[in-house]
Structure 1
Amino acid sequence: MSTFSIPCDHGQQSLLVNCTPDLNKDDLLRFPAFQIWLSTLRYSLKRQQHPSHEFHKDPYVLRKIVIQAVDFFKGGRLGFIKLKAEVSNKNGESLPGSVFLRGGSVGILLLLQPDDVHSSMEDEKRAILTIQPRIPAGSLAFAEIPAGMLDDNGSFAGSAAKEIQEETGLTIPQDELIDMTSLALQSIAGTEDVDTLQKAVYPSPGGSDEFIPLFLCQKRIPRKDIEHLQGRLTGLRQDGEKITLKVVPLKNLWKEGLRDGKTLASWALYKGLKEEGKI
């Protein structure tokens, strides 16, 4: 276990970090997931300075970070970090600080409609689900919308288009994607969430930093092309992806993918934005 410090802003005391031997200070500070998580937490803690904040009289402070475990991807790229953040106030009260750092992902609600019907016919729309092994969930056939992790230098829209191509075989230009989370957040501009958090949904904020912007892609294509997607085997086999596509009526998406949080969130966003006339 190595120990080093990270400088803090505004003349505050440096932050102490205890780290596993397989991770050095420079690699940690370059890890996008760590950068985003730390800057977001520091911003939230700084908001306690305002007299109206609930914790203003006895503010919480990030006192120490303990890196407990590290996972690397192929090629030695830093993948996941398990850490413990010690956050407490002067009264000795602490906040739960076990964190699984994995960074951002993207999810895509891909809706296909036969081009032989009118575009207003919602009942004719079909959603694409991927069925694949998800070992963390203990499943070899987990149903979810197309999704994937962000590359270190990838854009949200670019990553979404890439995942659609890899998981469905369809090539979608980035400018045809609608960022539903950003669009929905416009109606609550000025709130604390907008100021401090990513424009995304957080599927498990009690234990992980993962945030997922949810995109919408709607395409009108020949009916036979939609039918040919049913049961197609896709995914990057060299990366261990074994994906089968499932085409379901949009009206059934909520129950076909009910175990997947991002699928339900994308369905809810689509319904809400549709009702407000924003898509």
Structure 2
Amino acid sequence: MSTFTLPNTTPPIPVSLPSNLPQDALISFPAFKNWLATLQHSLSLQSNKSHTFHANPYALKNIEVQAVDWFGKKPGFIKLQAKVENDNGESLPGAVFLRGGSVAMLLILQPDDVPADTEKDKHVLLTVQPRIAAGSLELIELPAGMLDDGTFSGTAAKEIQEETGLEVPESELVNMTELALASGASSNDVEKLQTAMYPSPGACDEFIALFLHQKRIPRSQLDEFRGKLTGLRDEGEKITLKLVRLEDLWRESGRDAKALAAWAMYQGLRGEGKI
């Protein structure tokens, strides 16, 4: 283990590292930078007299990095313990799994022989693939991918092509999360959280932007997607495509938080006439 002090922190915040994680690699890891900046901003809001914790504010005391998984020469996942306490010795749960942002895509296909601007015969394109963390070899979910250095929409367009074979220009993607969250202010907006949904904020920093793309295609082309093998096979992606009716999405992909959130946002935004 090694220890260093976070730059520009008063009082100083010590950080302990495992032997296989250099200080520079942690400081430059996008997920760590985003998490730390967001947490520090949220903690600073306690100075406002209307804040819940104003009387006994919490502070970040130290960080212990416990493990790192490398993606080539860059950190991919980092597990850490953050000590956040107030002067009364009360602490907040601080176990954190850092992996950064992701995107997920609700791809709706509709035969072009039905009237446009209707919900008739709409289908959703799903992926079926191994997810070892869930103990599954055939988990049904929306196409998705991790956010690297690109934009939300650029990553979404790239992942759509890799996982489904469809080429969709960025300009034809609708950011449902952005539309949904723009409809009302909340304390989370003051905290400057990501314009995305957080599927497991009790222990993981992951945030997911949900995109929509609707496409009308010949009815005969629908069957081409059923059971199609896709994904970057040389990178271990073993993806099979599954086509389900839009009205059955909540049931067919009920174990996938991304799918349930996307279905709810789609229904809510349609009800408000925003899509």
Give the TM-score normalised by the residue count of structure 2. Answer: 0.98
Counterpart position of 1:4: 4
Counterpart position of 1:202: 198
Counterpart position of 1:130: 127
Cα distance in 1, alignment partners of residues 120 and 96 from structure 2? 42
Counterpart position of 1:250: 246
Contact 1:123/1:249 (CA < 8 Å) preserved in 2? no
Q: How far 1:193 sits from its partner (Å)? A: 1.2
Cα distance in 1, alignment partners of residues 51 and 183 from structure 2? 23
Q: Deviations over 1:72-94 (max 9, x none)?
A: 01x22210000000000000000
Is there any run of 5+ residues in structure 1 with no aligned partner, and where? none
Contact 2:177/2:265 (CA < 8 Å) preserved in 1? yes
Counterpart position of 2:23: 25
Alignment partner for residue 54 of structure 1, among 52, 55, 62?
Answer: 52
Cα distance in 1, alignment partners of residues 242 and 252 from structure 2? 10
Alignment partner for residue 192 of structure 1, among 158, 173, 187?
Answer: 187
Cα distance in 2, alignment partners of residues 170 and 111 from structure 1? 12
Q: How far 1:14 sits from its partner (Å)? A: 2.0
Counterpart position of 2:95: 98
Root-mean-square deviation over aligned CA pairs: 0.9
Cα distance in 2, alignment partners of residues 107 and 15 from structure 1? 35
Moved over 3 A (4+): none
Contact 2:114/2:120 (CA < 8 Å) preserved in 1? no
Cα distance in 2, alignment partners of residues 123 and 215 from structure 1? 21
Cα distance in 1, alignment partners of residues 115 and 8 from structure 2? 58
Q: Does 1:78 pair with 2:91?
A: no
> Per the alignment, in what secondary structure is the counterpart of residue 243 of structure 2?
strand
Contact 1:8/1:15 (CA < 8 Å) preserved in 2? no
Counterpart position of 1:265: 261
Counterpart position of 1:145: 142
Q: Deviations over 1:40-95 (max 9, x none)?
A: 1001100000001111011000000000000001x222100000000000000000
Counterpart position of 1:182: 178
Cα distance in 1, alignment partners of residues 30 and 239 from structure 2? 28
The within-5 A match list for 1:166-177 is 166-177=162-173
Q: How far 1:226 sits from its partner (Å)? A: 1.5
> Per the alignment, in what secondary structure is the counterpart of residue 116 of structure 1?
coil
Q: How far 1:7 sits from its partner (Å)? A: 2.2
Cα distance in 1, alignment partners of residues 8 and 56 from structure 2? 20
Q: How far 1:120 sits from its partner (Å)? A: 2.4
Cα distance in 2, alignment partners of residues 262 and 180 from structure 1? 12
Contact 2:25/2:74 (CA < 8 Å) preserved in 1? no
Q: How far 1:277 sits from its partner (Å)? A: 0.3
**Amino acid corresponding to residue 7 of structure 1 in structure 2:** P
**Amino acid corresponding to residue 50 of structure 1 in structure 2:** N
Q: Does 1:66 pair with 2:59?
A: no
> Per the alignment, in what secondary structure is the counterpart of residue 133 of structure 1?
strand
Q: Deviations over 1:165-203 (max 9, x none)?
A: 0010000000000000000011113x2212321000000
Counterpart position of 1:213: 209
> Per the alignment, in what secondary structure is the counterpart of residue 40 of structure 1?
helix
Q: How far 1:242 sits from its partner (Å)? A: 0.3
> Per the alignment, in what secondary structure is the counterpart of residue 207 of structure 2?
coil
Contact 2:99/2:205 (CA < 8 Å) preserved in 1? yes
Give identity over the alignment, percent.
Answer: 59
Cα distance in 1, alignment partners of residues 267 and 8 from structure 2? 43
Counterpart position of 1:158: 154
> Per the alignment, in what secondary structure is the counterpart of residue 124 of structure 1?
coil
Is there any run of 5+ residues in structure 2 with no aligned partner, and where? none
Cα distance in 1, alignment partners of residues 44 and 142 from structure 2? 37
Q: How far 1:147 sits from its partner (Å)? A: 0.3
